[in-house]
Structure 1
Amino acid sequence: MKNNLFLSLLLFLIGVNLSFAQGSTEYTGGMKVKLNEDGTKYFRIISWAQFWAQYNNNETLNAFGNEESDLNFSIRRARILMYAQLTNRFLILTHFGLNSQNAANMHPVGKSESSQLFFHDVWGEYALNKNHSIGGGLHYWNGISRLNNQSTLNMLTLDNNRQSWATIGLSDQFARHMGIYLKGKFGKLQYRVSVNEAINDGLDAENIPTQNNATYSGRNILGGKNAGKNFAGYFDYNFLDQESNFLPYKVGSYIGGKKVFNVGAGFFYHPNGSTILDESENFEGQDVAIFSIDAFYDAPIGTKGAAITAYAVYQNNDYGDNFTFGQTYESGSMLYGHVGYVIPGTSELLKIQPYLSYTNRSINAIDDDTNRFGIGGNLYFSGHHSKLSLEYSNQQYGNLDAVDIFTLQAMIYL
């Protein structure tokens, strides 16, 4: 009996392929378990975690009027992703985890909402042919821009540009919609389009619109028949090396592993997604329309390990008249860009990548701008599998005082 158990375990381990490639950027790491000899039937498990130590000068007080700590620790992300194929026609993916857990939202016995694991993605896919697939479920095949489809395990900057996840919590569940999608490519042109359900109880659903200010509450107020569906798409042309679109998650930095230059454009459209009061104090729907154009460049420079990563996007956001929510989402426009440089001469097991980022947003509701500047760097011990990131950011929102934040992140990706 013991010998049979040992033999079964040995055969299982022989069938497992652990892939920890230096500089791995796409979802090729983790543990791949082969279900047949040639590996065409398999499942792969990937896990990653990001831990933050963050200092900011934004003074806050607790309920008793005492000042809160300026230095705080948190788990920014803890995720597990698994996908499987039994034939090259079918794919199923599940992705679950938690986000932004800290001392303020933890629970004594782990029962609060912030302590709970939840599904980020659950979708199945069928390949129509070699280049085109259709799928459905809770998915991340988003529109608008590259950053609205950003992977969270290989970003250049410490975190994604927040406003690029332009519908998170407003019409979706944590940047995922429930719906159907079509994705594929025509030569060097890749595409993804989707038709989705809008969430009923979004972040802004409980706020009441006025005659001058819209709220993102269309489905909640007008009902699913009038405001239940939204439409999204993103298209990018790959001029140089071809990126994978096997999974939806866009790479943030290849740290010299590819030579990529892409130009893209995308949209998000939600008919009657927002509401406003007309002159008779009746609810009136307003369409939510977001579109962007962007460009991404990532390439090695010379022969000593140097590499550059650069990205720029223009995004126009129309959430309805004078819409604003939490200094995060506003009707207006946005310019964002970042650039990073891998310093040459470091070893294969140690790479240093300083970077800069800048955001300018126009805000219709306050007739003013907000600006954010970030400077930081990544220290790679084994590509994106193990890295430290340090960033300083300064944000000025309208005429409010600027907020300075220092963040140190440690990340492990297996």
Structure 2
Amino acid sequence: MKKQLVILLSISLFAFQNMYSQSSPDYSGGLKIKFDEEGKKYLRVISWAQVQATYTDEVPEDASHINFNLRRARVLMFSQINEKFLILSHFGLNSLNSGSLSPTGKGEGSQLFFHGVWAQYNVAKDHAVGGGLHYFNGISRLNNQSTLNMLTLDNNRQSWSTIGLSDQFARHLGVYGKGKFGKLQYRVAINDAITNGLDAREPEANGAAVYGGKRLLGSKDAGFAYAGYFDYNFLDQESTFLPYKVGTYLGAKKVFNVGAGFFLHPSGSVRMDTNENLVGEDIALFAIDAFYDAPLGEDGSAISAYATFQSNDYGKDYLYSAYGTGSMVYAHVGYVFAGDLTKARFQPYVSLASNSYDAVDDNRNIFGIGVNSYLSGNNSKLTLEYQHQKFGESKNGTVTLQAMIYL
């Protein structure tokens, strides 16, 4: 264990030195191409990459404790013809590792795919409608989380509560409306649920529900899902231009929001009764959350905190992977030490999650502790995190070092 940690720390120092030489403290982000003098017609391109080295406690005897992972490689582009219209495309890949690499780069793990493609029409100054493969999700702030500026190493996985079950990688195909009334922001959507999701199980007589309503019952009864999220911005107002919620502002804004959201999928799950008849069960997820991010003085120190409670009903005794009928509590808090914005700044943090399931007596408990080293704000950072997860008799701890740059 000590030897592996030394290796990780050595990698950290090497990455730190090389990334700091490329840091740009005054960088505004992205490439923007203007097609008119006023800048109302433009194309903007953003690209980012997250590379990880991970040490895992519990592995098979013939497996290495350390592995490398290209966690995310993404390109996001959006363009406006004028102030009324917008089109966005987001593509990339996730979690490319030695197991998903292919000799010629043609395997499934090596392929790019669309994370989002949608068109939008602004019906008024603060209100818009759109459609396509979109990310205007319901339930909570974390289900709309940006991957560019997360406080923790990664998002709380259970907060992406329908990923692969009713959507394509947390994106639904449908229509949405978004905007704000004063300090109250909203997003609502009607979506066509995925037919062949990750849960490919078949129901068993008098057994637990499976998430396969559209596949087993058809689109007439189980085709559509409905989502919404509403948050009240008490202090500084957050942007509603794009759907991606910021994880930490590093004290650049003073934000305090309280939100609530939902996800409803009628007959989204299916179970089999004692007579072997298929019965649809409604999926209903609800959450409340709060987010606070503010400077603590003139010296650059800041605090960022988030907490949520979520009620999950996926159907009778549903349990698949990390998702199940029950409830979830999650929270994290981070503190940015005072420092020069043009130099490295450090942000230690802790996170806690507890998931309860009706189907079993044990909770899934996850504890994380880590530190972010910001070399150019969220545009260039290193994260070192230890996470411990316990679920029943299963216990596992991981140490991960991640380097991220976005341009």
Q: Same fold (TM over 0.5)?
A: yes
In structure 1, the residue matched to 2:41 is 41
In structure 1, the residue matched to 2:395 is 402
Q: TM-score, normalised by structure 1?
A: 0.91
Pair 1:209–1:91, CA change in 2 (3 A)? farther
Aligned partner of 2:177 among 175, 178, 182: 182
SS at the partner of 1:155?
coil
CA contact (8 A) 2:203 2:272 kept: no
Q: Equivalences for 1:5-404 in 2 at 5 Å?
A: 22=25, 29-60=29-60, 67-326=62-321, 328-397=322-391, 399-404=392-397
SS at the partner of 1:83?
strand
CA contact (8 A) 1:55 1:72 kept: yes
* Aligned-residue offset at 1:23: 8.3
Residue 82 of structure 1 aligns with an amino acid whose one-letter code is: M
Q: Within 1, Cα distance between the matches of 2:25 and 2:324?
A: 40
SS at the partner of 1:336?
strand
* Aligned-residue offset at 1:207: 3.6
Pair 1:122–1:203, CA change in 2 (3 A)? same
* Aligned-residue offset at 1:22: 4.0
CA contact (8 A) 2:153 2:384 kept: yes
Superposed CA RMSD: 1.3
In structure 2, the residue matched to 1:7 is none
* Aligned-residue offset at 1:348: 3.1
* Aligned-residue offset at 1:205: 2.8
Q: How many residues align?
A: 385
SS at the partner of 2:240?
coil
Q: Within 2, Cα distance between the matches of 1:345 and 1:81?
A: 31
The percent of aligned pairs where both chains have the same amino acid is 59
Q: Within 1, Cα distance between the matches of 2:314 and 2:400?
A: 31
* Aligned-residue offset at 1:209: 4.1
* Aligned-residue offset at 1:367: 2.1
* Aligned-residue offset at 1:40: 1.1
Q: Within 2, Cα distance between the matches of 1:332 and 1:287?
A: 14
CA contact (8 A) 2:304 2:335 kept: yes
Q: Within 2, Cα distance between the matches of 1:21 and 1:260?
A: 25
In structure 2, the residue matched to 1:12 is none
CA contact (8 A) 1:293 1:315 kept: yes
Q: TM-score, normalised by structure 2?
A: 0.93
In structure 2, the residue matched to 1:413 is 406
SS at the partner of 2:221?
helix
* Aligned-residue offset at 1:347: 4.6
Pair 1:258–1:209, CA change in 2 (3 A)? farther
| Structure 1 segments (4+ residues) deviating >6 Å | none
Q: Structure 2: which 5+ runs fail to align? A: 1-22
Q: Within 1, Cα distance between the matches of 2:26 and 2:375?
A: 9
Q: Within 1, Cα distance between the matches of 2:117 and 2:86?
A: 11
* Aligned-residue offset at 1:59: 1.7
CA contact (8 A) 2:208 2:318 kept: yes
